[in-house]
Amino acid sequence: MRPIFALSLAAVLILPLPAAAQPTPWAHPGEEAIDPYAVDDANAGAAPMAEDAVFEALGGVQGVSRIIDDLVDRSVRDPRLEEIFKPTDLARLRRTLKEQVCFILGGPCAYSGRDMAAAHKDLGITTAEFNALVENLQGAMDDAGVPFRAQNRLLARLAPMKGDVVER
Ligand code: HEM
C-alpha cells in the first residue's frame, strides 16, 4: 500500500463522522415523523449562557431532564393547557425541550428541534396560556430546590420567545 493512500484511509477511518451522516432528528425511536427542516442551534431562540452557574443550579443534565419531565407532566394535566397538549408527541417534546434548556444554559447539548415560530404555528396559544406554562416551570424548579435567582435567569432567556409562541 502506498503511504499516502494508507494515510488517507486511516484519516477516513479515524476521523469522526461528518454531521450529514448523523441520524436525522425526526427519526428518533419512539417519536412520530415530522416534515424535514434545517437543524441549527439558532433554532433554540437564545444564545447559550457564557458561564455554567445557572446550569449547575438546575442540577446539570440530569437536573434539567427531571425539571422538564416535571414541567411536561404538570402541563398535560393542567386544565388550562391539557387541550393544547393532547395531540402532541410528548416523547419528542420532552427530548427537544431538554436539549433546548440544556443548550441555553451553556450545558453540553445541541438543539435539534424546530425554531419557536415553526414549533408553535397554528396552536393559537394565548398570553394566559404562556403564563400558565411559565408558572408550571417555576413550580417544577421550586420543587427541585432551584434558587429563585437562577430560576429568573432562565426565565429571562425564555421571555423574549413569547412573540414567536403567542398568536392571540
Ligand atoms: C418560551 C416558552 C416555550 C418554549 C421554550 C417552548 C419550546 C418548545 C419546543 C422545544 C418544542 C418542540 C419543537 C420541535 O418539535 O421541534 C415545542 C413544541 C410545542 N409547544 Fe412549546 N415552548 C414554549 C411555550 C409553549 C406554550 C406556552 C405552550 C402552550 C401553552 C406550548 C405548547 C407546545 C406544543 C403543543 C408543542 C408541540 C407542537 C407539535 O406537536 O407540533 N409551548 N415547544
In the chain the domains, ranked by start, together with CATH numbers, are 40-165 (1.10.490.10)
Alpha-carbon distances of 3 from 10, 105, 107, 111, rounded to whole Å:
10, 46, 41, 40
Dihedral of the alpha carbons of 127, 129, 132, 133, in degrees to the nearest 10: -100
How far, in Å, CA of 11 to CA of 69, rounded?
41
Mean predicted lDDT score pLDDT of the chain: 90
- Mutate which of 165, 166, 167, 168 for ligand 1 pocket (most atoms within 8 A of beta carbon): 165
Q: How confident is the model at residue 20 (pLDDT cuts 50, 70, 90)?
A: very low
pLDDT tens profile 92-105: 999 999 999 999 99
For residue 124, the one-letter residue type is G
What pLDDT does residue 28 have? 87
Task: Please report the atom of ligand 1 found closest to the CA of residue 133.
Answer: 27
Locate 39 and state its grid cell. Answer: 437543524
Q: How confident is the model at residue 86 (pLDDT cuts 50, 70, 90)?
A: very high
For residue 13, the one-letter residue type is L
Q: What pTM did the predictor assign?
A: 0.88
Task: Please report the atom of ligand 1 found closest to the CA of residue 75.
Answer: 30
